[in-house]
Structure 1
Amino acid sequence: MKPPSRPRPALGKTAPKPPSPRVAPPPAKRPGTAKPRAAGPTREGPLPDRSTRTTLPQDKPEQASAEVTTAESKAPVATVVPLQAREPQQPRSVVSTGLQARLAERELIDKARLRRRLYWVAGVAVTSVLMVWAVFFSPLFALDPEQITVEGTADTVDRKTVVELVNDNHGVPLPRLNTTALRLQIKDVRGVQDVTLRRDWPRGLTVSITARQPVVAVPDEDEGGYLLLDSEAIQVGRAAKAPKDLPVISVPIEGDNQVVLESVLVVLEAIPDKLGADVRAVSANTQDDITLRLRGGGKVIWGDSSSNALKASVLAVLREQAGNSRNYDVSAPSAPITW
């Protein structure tokens, strides 16, 4: 089949044109929007507004050029900064900078504290050494012979020997002075019963002596004269004649008679002072037949050295009530005898 043919236009009439496609109008320009520029070197910064141009008077070209120059100088100019190579970045620390500073400050404080402790310990050690040297080894506290005082020496004490023993420690610091050994040495001196040492700081020493006091005189058959004995039967001196205030004992002091002598001394130590002042002599052959001879005559048969206080009390009563009796026997104090 043949396709249908198009109808032909009538003669003298122009065929109608097909409708042209509609073209969208160009978008309206927004105020302040710049036109796109062609490719080429670009310029940063806002573009000068060329919509308004300033018409300069022709008769003042110099002024116009100056104004143009000023306007161009006021316009911002873009600065092109060349790219530089970046430095390699260091690894970041886990601890923040503030914490590191605090740790460093704390470390400095600990070190300063340690130094102060070391200085303190060193100062204490040096001070201790100096004090020990000054007290125990320096002459600051050394014994001075001119500052030694000896007290309590009687006629029975050899004072010269005591002073020599103390002076042997000249120059020894008082803290190092061996007072125990010095005391034993002084006690061995004749006539010394006891001694006390007292340091007189910084360089002195006081020696207080308790001298032995003689209580009896014993005839010396070998060399003549009398030996002066104290209450412990220790010789404290010698005399050519028997002292008037001491009783004379007619008892040998050698061998087995030492017990007899000690018994006599115990009796003389126990009787009252008033009765002891009346005793002129004491005799004894054994320790059980002690006899006291009184001044002005008379005697007392004492017996042994037991019940001394009771015997002394009975004798005192008998002497007051006996009348003309001058002899007393108190060897048995419960049954005394007078005649």
Structure 2
Amino acid sequence: MAGPKAAERDARQKQKSGPPRPPVPGRWARRRMLIILLLAVVLVSGGVIWLLYGSSWLRVERVTVSGTRVLTPAQVRTAAGVRTGTPLASLDTDAIEARLRRKLPRIDTVEAVRSWPHGITLNVTERTPVLLLASGGRFVEVDREGVRFATVTHAPEGVPVLEWALPRTGGPRRFGTDRLLREAVRVAEAVPTAVARDTRTVKVRSYDSISLRLRDGRSVMWGSGEKGKAKSVTLTALMKAAPDARHFDVSVPTSPASSGS
């Protein structure tokens, strides 16, 4: 038998340890809820992935093209290479845009936009020619950035032809024909609208000797592409002041001149 001292020790030990702790209420319930939520997330994610990539609901059925002027929608669709039946979510719109610009240089900018649930729209902006380069009975179109982007058999209405009259030494070596071309583009862009409609040729002799030939035979010495806005305003005023003149010089816009009748 245990003596009184042993009994006292047991009593004191029980007082220190206290009554047995009951299980924490709700712990397993929270774990079950967390597991259920995780399973729900997995199921929903799997369903979304299947809907976007595996189902037949969100797939390309039509490719719409807008903004074309010279190009046809069929040409753009062919170059885009978007296959019907492809999941919309899997389309790489950046790659489509890059492919269109590479295959169709006439395209300046293009935006490929998904049109849920079954389409993709290609919004195209074509380059506009401001100058033409004659080449073997054909014409190379040049845009406002000096980019040669297309060759056509007939000159577009209202677009002047570039005429080279470069010396064998000097200008071409110093500036290069590409820079001279860009300078001619600057001139063509700056010409007043009313004059631009009648301009037949832009003649380049050197960097600072660029002139225009109009449909009725009148000529304009423009000079370089610098101070284009001032030259445009001066030429408009000069033509109004001397309507019978045949030659105009605005190469120095503060000292314009006209001659002939």
* Separation (CA, whole Å) in 1 of partners of 2:165 and 2:53: 53
Matches within 5 A, 1:264-275: 264-275=184-195
What SS class does the counterpart of residue 162 from structure 2 fall into?
strand
Whose helix fraction is larger, Structure 1's or Structure 2's?
Answer: 2
Q: Indicate if the aligned counterparts of 1:158 and 1:190 stay in contact, CA closer than 8 A.
A: no
1:243-279 deviation digits (Å, cap 9, x = unpaired) = 4422121128999322222111111112221221121
Q: Indicate if the aligned counterparts of 1:251 and 1:261 stay in contact, CA closer than 8 A.
A: no
* Separation (CA, whole Å) in 2 of partners of 1:304 and 1:322: 23
1:14-33 deviation digits (Å, cap 9, x = unpaired) = xxxxxxxxxxxxxxxxxxxx
Give the corresponding residue for 1:179.
93
- TM-aligned CA deviation for residue 174 of structure 1: 2.1
Matches within 5 A, 1:91-240: 103=22, 107=25, 109-144=26-61, 147-155=62-70, 157=71, 159-188=73-102, 189-220=104-135, 223-240=136-153
Which amino acid in 2 is paired with 1:298?
R
Which amino acid in 2 is paired with 1:181?
A
Residue of structure 2 aligned with 1:324, choices 244, 250, 256: 244
Which amino acid in 1 is paired with 2:111?
T
Q: TM-score, normalised by structure 2?
A: 0.79
Residue of structure 1 aligned with 2:235, choices 269, 292, 315: 315
What SS class does the counterpart of residue 139 from structure 1 fall into?
coil
1:310-335 deviation digits (Å, cap 9, x = unpaired) = 11111111111124222111111121
* Separation (CA, whole Å) in 2 of partners of 1:337 and 1:283: 19
Residue 202 to residue 296, structure 1, CA distance change in 2 (3 Å) = same
1:12-52 deviation digits (Å, cap 9, x = unpaired) = xxxxxxxxxxxxxxxxxxxxxxxxxxxxxxxxxxxxxxxxx
- TM-aligned CA deviation for residue 192 of structure 1: 0.6
Matches within 5 A, 1:24-103: 103=22
| Dislocated runs of 4+, deviation >6 Å | 252-255
Structure 1 unaligned blocks of 5 or more: 1-93
Residue 252 to residue 179, structure 1, CA distance change in 2 (3 Å) = farther
Q: Indicate if the aligned counterparts of 1:218 and 1:251 stay in contact, CA closer than 8 A.
A: no
The answer on 1:290 being equivalent to 2:210 is yes
Size of the aligned set, in residue pairs, is 235
Whose strand fraction is larger, Structure 1's or Structure 2's?
Answer: 2
Q: Indicate if the aligned counterparts of 2:59 and 2:84 stay in contact, CA closer than 8 A.
A: yes
1:209-252 deviation digits (Å, cap 9, x = unpaired) = 001122222210xx322222222333344343434422121128
What SS class does the counterpart of residue 86 from structure 2 fall into?
coil
Instruction: Using the TM superposition, name which of 125-134 and 304-313 deviates more.
Output: 125-134
Aligned Cα root-mean-square deviation (Å)? 2.8
Q: Indicate if the aligned counterparts of 2:80 and 2:99 stay in contact, CA closer than 8 A.
A: no
Larger radius of gyration: 1
Which amino acid in 2 is paired with 1:328?
F
- TM-aligned CA deviation for residue 113 of structure 1: 3.8
* Separation (CA, whole Å) in 2 of partners of 1:209 and 1:150: 7
What SS class does the counterpart of residue 284 from structure 1 fall into?
strand
1:270-310 deviation digits (Å, cap 9, x = unpaired) = 22212211212111121211011122121111111111111
Residue 286 to residue 159, structure 1, CA distance change in 2 (3 Å) = farther
Q: TM-score, normalised by structure 1?
A: 0.62
Residue of structure 2 aligned with 1:247, choices 156, 160, 168: 160
What SS class does the counterpart of residue 334 from structure 1 fall into?
coil
Residue 286 to residue 167, structure 1, CA distance change in 2 (3 Å) = same
In percent, how many aligned pairs have the same letter?
27
Q: Which has the higher contact order (CA 8 A, sep 6+)?
A: 2
Residue 257 to residue 116, structure 1, CA distance change in 2 (3 Å) = closer
The answer on 1:301 being equivalent to 2:221 is yes
Structure 2 unaligned blocks of 5 or more: 1-13, 167-171
Q: Indicate if the aligned counterparts of 1:251 and 1:260 stay in contact, CA closer than 8 A.
A: no
Residue 252 to residue 298, structure 1, CA distance change in 2 (3 Å) = closer
* Separation (CA, whole Å) in 1 of partners of 2:157 and 2:46: 63
Which amino acid in 2 is paired with 1:175?
A
Residue 173 to residue 241, structure 1, CA distance change in 2 (3 Å) = closer
